[in-house]
Amino acid sequence: MSPTIAGLLGFGALVVLIIIRVPVAIAMGIVGACGLGVLNGWESLAFILGRAAFDAVSPASLSVVPLFVMMGVFAAHGGLSRSLYAASTAFLGHWRGGLAVATVGASAMFGAICGSSLATAATMGRVAMPEMRRQGYADSLSAASIAAGGTLGVLIPPSILLMLYGLLTEQSIGQLFAAGVLPGVLGMGLYMLAVVFTTARHPELGMAMERTPWIARLRVLVDVWQVILLFLVVLGGMYLGYFRPSEAAAVGAAGALFMATINRKLNWKTLRSGLLETTTTTAMIFMILIGAAVFNYFIDATGIADMIVKQVAGFGLNRFSILFLLIVMYLVLGCLMDSMSMILLTIAPVFPLITSLGFDPIWFGVLLVTLAEIGMITPPVGMNLFVLQAIVPNLKMQTLMRGIIPFVFADIVRLGLLVALPAISLWLPSHMK
């Protein structure tokens, strides 16, 4: 069997395993190991397996993973989501559709601390959905704003997907985090505009609340100083050169733990569950890295990445035409599989192609994660939609799908801006010390 055919069969097998819900780490490990055994012999496979696990998780840069995960876990346990939502509602609730706008803003800020789209959607769903129902908001607008707002947690640092991209492509995690800030803020602004546009056309979807007095606004604003301080210390420290990413992660984890303590949310039960959640999430990420390492050995052995680069170069298309085809491919894949699987499946052949075309790898990382975000809210496999349906009583998927359309259009606009204006992603990294 030729290496190229083996590589194509391997990709096919990997897609099948992911579709039938085999965990992506296990699927990549199985396909990579079997492929290497067929191509290079089983003795060679034994040698590679003996070193792959250690090589994948031994770099010191990986210390950021458990520390940022711990930061997000204890930030959630510290009750920061409710404080953020209360503050956002106090300032924006008197607008038409203001609670939905506040939900998007609170989700963006909570996602900046949490780093997980699913966790943000689940947490804000429990916090925001009952209040919006109580105020008479339509489920289509309420649930869609939570699902869309949750995707901001994928991009605004610290982001697990950006960390994985940086580790797999050997790019600076600090620069990737800085590159994600402005696109994340842009996404938040466009989602808010989507709410404003929707309620302008259909006012009955989200009526305005009574205006909150300024005294009350300032009172709830005091409750979110912790979030603002933690965000400024962690990201500001990296941006100004005071912290390396691992040091920033340690400061963030310690800060979140301290804030949970002073908010009287930390006891032995929450400490134990928080540490257990941190451990299991970290183990999951490390298993993915090990599986990806084995699969990448297989891809290197097939030479399929080089073949794709040469084949695409032979088409005679300019680099933006190729980029457009890649974007379409990722939009289609996002409708069929979860974001992490999509990135891990494609990064090995696509990254060499992107670098050979002269695109900035930091910029592409942000673009790729943005495409992954869109996949979180597009049917039939929009994970945020399923999370919300699971935690919100009597919420129909048809209602969610109808409400999410304006937010998907907002994401398409953001994609166009990121492609047309790379400086949106690259301006902050270019000014890092």
Q: Is the pLDDT of residue 337 over 70?
A: no
What are the backbone angles phi and psi of residue 361, rounded to the nearest 5°? Answer: -65, -30
CA dist., res. 20 & res. 326, Å (int): 25
Q: What is the mean pLDDT of residues 50-54?
A: 75
- Count the neighbouring beta carbons within 10 Å of the beta carbon of residue 209: 19
167-170, long-range: CB within 8 Å, 24+ apart, which pairs?
167/59, 167/61, 167/62, 167/289, 168/289, 168/292, 168/296, 168/344, 168/347, 168/351, 169/347, 169/351, 169/361, 169/365
Q: What is the pTM of this model?
A: 0.77
Coil, strand, or helix at residue 128? Answer: helix
CA distances from 178 to 150, 238, 369, 408 (A): 19, 8, 14, 24
pLDDT tens digits, one per residue of 360-412: 999 999 999 999 888 888 876 677 777 777 777 788 878 888 888 999 999 99
Q: Which residue has the higher pLDDT, 253 or 312?
A: 253
Q: What is the mean pLDDT of residues 98-107?
A: 85
pLDDT tens digits, one per residue of 158-182: 777 888 888 888 888 888 988 988 9
Sign of the dihedral defined by the CA atoms of residues 362, 366, 367, 368, in that order? positive
Which of the four pLDDT bands, split at 50, 70 and 90, describes residue 1? Answer: low
Q: Which residue has the higher pLDDT, 294 or 83?
A: 294
User: CA dihedral in degrees (8, 14, 347, 334; nearest 10)?
Assistant: 110
CA dist., res. 346 & res. 351, Å (int): 8
Q: What is the mean pLDDT of residues 316-331?
A: 85
- Residues 76, 80, 81: CA angle, nearest 5 degrees: 80
Do residues 25 and 287 lie in contact, with contact meaning Cβ atoms separated by under 8 Å? yes
Q: What would the two tokens of residue 176 be?
A: 């990737």
Q: Which residue has the tokens 């916090």?
A: 127
Q: Is the pLDDT of residue 133 over 80?
A: yes
pLDDT above 90: percentage of residues in the chain: 11
Coil, strand, or helix at residue 244? Answer: coil
- Residues 6 or more apart whose CB falls under 8 angstroms from that of 99 comprise 89, 92, 93, 128, 131, 132, 135, 137, 142, 206, 209
Query: Smallest Cα–Cα separation from 330: which of 341, 347, 342?
Result: 342
pLDDT at 2: 77
Q: Which residue has the tokens 């780093």?
A: 115
pLDDT above 70: percentage of residues in the chain: 93
pLDDT at 286: 80
pLDDT tens digits, one per residue of 247-301: 877 888 888 888 778 777 778 888 888 888 888 878 877 887 788 778 878 877 8
